[in-house]
Amino acid sequence: MLDQRGRPRAPHQLSLALPVPARAARALVLTAVFVCAACGLVYELELVALASYLVGDSVTQASLVLSVMVFAMGCGSLLAKRLRNRPAAAFVAVESALALVGGLSVMTLYAVFAWYGQARFAMIGCAFAIGVLIGAEVPLLMTLVQRIRRQDAGGAVADLFAADYVGALVGGLAFSFLLLPYLGQLTGALATGAVNAVAGGATVLWLFRGDLSGRARGWLLTANVGVLALLACAAVGAGPFERAARHAVYGSRVRVAEQTGAEEIVLTGGTGASGVSSLRLYVDGDLAVCGADEAVYHQALVEPALTGPHARVLILGGGDGLALREVLRHQGVEAVTVVPDDDELARLGRTDPGLTALNGHAFDDPRVREVGGDAFDWLRRATSQSAERVSGAGAFGSAGADTGGGGVAGGVGANAGGGGARGDAGADTGGGGGAPDAGSPGRQRYDVIIADLPAPGASDSAKLYSQEFYGLTAHALAGGGRLAVHAGSSAHTLWTTDATLHTVSLRTTPYAMTGTRACGSSAGWNFLLAAPTSAPPHLALPNRPPPGQSLTAAGLRAAARQARRTRPARPLPPSTLLRPRITE
Catalytic residues: 452
Beta strands in 169-300 (DSSP E): 254-260, 263-268, 280-283, 286-290
| CA–CA separation, 467 and 210 (whole Å) | 65
- Mapped onto helix, strand or coil, the DSSP state of residue 553 is helix
DSSP letter (8 states) at residue 200: I
> Which are the contacts of 521, defined by CB distance < 8 A and separation ≥ 6?
287
Is there a contact between 186 and 55 (Cβ–Cβ < 8 Å)?
Answer: no
- Mapped onto helix, strand or coil, the DSSP state of residue 515 is strand
CB atoms within 10 A of CB 323: 29
CA 194 to chain centre: 27
Classify the C-alpha dihedral 142-148-154-160 as positive or negative. Answer: negative
Dihedral Cα 513, 516, 520, 523, nearest 10 deg: 20
- Mapped onto helix, strand or coil, the DSSP state of residue 163 is helix
- Strand-pair partners of 338: 315, 370
| CA–CA separation, 286 and 266 (whole Å) | 10
> Which are the contacts of 480, defined by CB distance < 8 A and separation ≥ 6?
308, 309, 424, 425, 447, 531, 532, 533
| CA–CA separation, 51 and 58 (whole Å) | 8
Angle, in degrees to the nearest 10, between helices 22-54 and 87-116 = 10
Nearest Cα residue to 502 out of 464, 475, 474: 474
**Strand duo 522-531 + 507-516: pairing:** antiparallel
Q: Is 119 exposed, middle or buried (0-12, 13-18, 19+ CB in 10 A)?
A: buried
Nearest Cα residue to 141 out of 194, 210, 216, 90: 90
| CA–CA separation, 368 and 338 (whole Å) | 7
- Strand-pair partners of 172: none
Mark 377-409 as b/e (b = at least 16 C-beta within 10 Å): ebbbebbeebeebeeeeebbbebeeebeeebbb
Nearest Cα residue to 319 out of 248, 373, 384: 373
- Strand-pair partners of 531: 507
Nearest Cα residue to 439 out of 364, 373, 394, 391: 373
